Structure 1
Amino acid sequence: MAGGLTGPAGMTPEEHSRDLREHGVPEELHAHFPGHGMGGLARAMGIRFTELTPGRSVATMPVEPNTQPGGILHGGAHCVLAETLASTAASVHAGPGRYAVGVDVNATHQRGVASGTVTGTCTALHLGATLTVHEVVMTDDRGRRLSTARVTNLVRERGTGH
């Protein structure tokens, strides 16, 4: 660690920036990720952003190894992708010094998928001062809808606890 200085989760500032860049987060939005970079779960599941604004965010995730014993994408993986997209968009909306925490996620699964890549497209339904609501649609490589989720986030000031 450079000079003993560490960033989030024991990362140096350089490691933190590299982690976010590798997951598609634009440099100008890095200040919105002061916690643990991309986060261990999103990193482990292979989530990569391709678009990120408060009103719309898009990310991809590989189906494998995120499958359930039946060989299709795990329903919980749909929810992880949805909450990652919505919470990140909500945090960008909140701005530096504030953060978003998920308080409700619900998903309806329309179709299973056993291989390829899932794309999540997140659209803001409400961007308030303390509450955000996003809809996330997951599709397969052929553009077929796999699931639809709605995620509600509470916007908080940093330092107010979890």
Structure 2
Amino acid sequence: MTKEELLQLSKKICKNTLMETLEIEFTEVGEDYLIAKMPVNSRVHQPDGVLHGGASVALAESVGSLASYIFLDAEKFMVRGIEISANHLKSIREGWVYAKASFIHKGRTTQLLEIRITDEAENLISLVKLTTLSLPKAK
């Protein structure tokens, strides 16, 4: 998938979703990874003015699930997240965070991804592990 194809797909599937609300933008695709970015502003803050952990997890699940979707046969399978865990290591008040989803295991039924969320200076903000399940589409 080219970057242009990724942008077109993401615009189509993100419309009227949480990804659009959080302004998540998919920016880069490689042979075994996908990167997205999200602005850090008052829309994703917790009450004390730093990035909400739930927004980080939403970013991670969005990029990880789309990675599974594009690296599997999307014509035949749908993807669902079945487990996610996150360690939040550093806070951020403003700017951008970047989530890079990489496969640890790419099985036919389950996929395991590591999602590293970093700031603009490449400081690790959160480290997330996501398990996805591929289910056959109804014919």
Instruction: Report the TM-score when normalising by structure 2.
Output: 0.87
What is the match of residue 126 of structure 2? 147
C-alpha displacement of 1:52: 2.8
**Structure 1 residues not aligned, in runs of 5+:** 1-20
What is the match of residue 36 of structure 2? 59
Q: 1:70 aligns with which of 48, 52, 62?
A: 48
C-alpha displacement of 1:73: 0.5
Percent identity of equivalent pairs: 27
What SS does the aligned partner of 2:131 have? strand
What is the match of residue 84 of structure 1? 62
What SS does the aligned partner of 2:70 have? helix
Aligned residue runs from structure 1 range 86-105, under 5 A: 86-95=64-73, 96-105=75-84
Over the aligned positions, Cα root-mean-square deviation in angstroms equals 2.0
What SS does the aligned partner of 2:44 have? coil
Aligned residue runs from structure 1 range 1-162, under 5 A: 25-27=6-8, 30=9, 37-38=13-14, 40-53=17-30, 55-64=32-41, 65-95=43-73, 96-159=75-138
Structure with greater Cα Rg = 1
What SS does the aligned partner of 1:155 have? strand
**Structure 2 residues not aligned, in runs of 5+:** none
The alignment of Structure 1 onto Structure 2 pairs a total of residues equal to 132
Task: Say whether the 8 Å CA contact 2:7–2:27 is kept in structure 1.
Answer: no
Task: Say whether the 8 Å CA contact 2:110–2:133 is kept in structure 1.
Answer: yes
1 or 2, which has the higher strand percentage? 2
Task: Say whether the 8 Å CA contact 1:130–1:155 is kept in structure 2.
Answer: yes
Aligned amino acid, residue 14 of structure 2: M
Residues 64-122 of structure 1, C-alpha deviations (whole Å, 9 max, x = no match): 12111110000001101110111001111221221110000000000000000000111
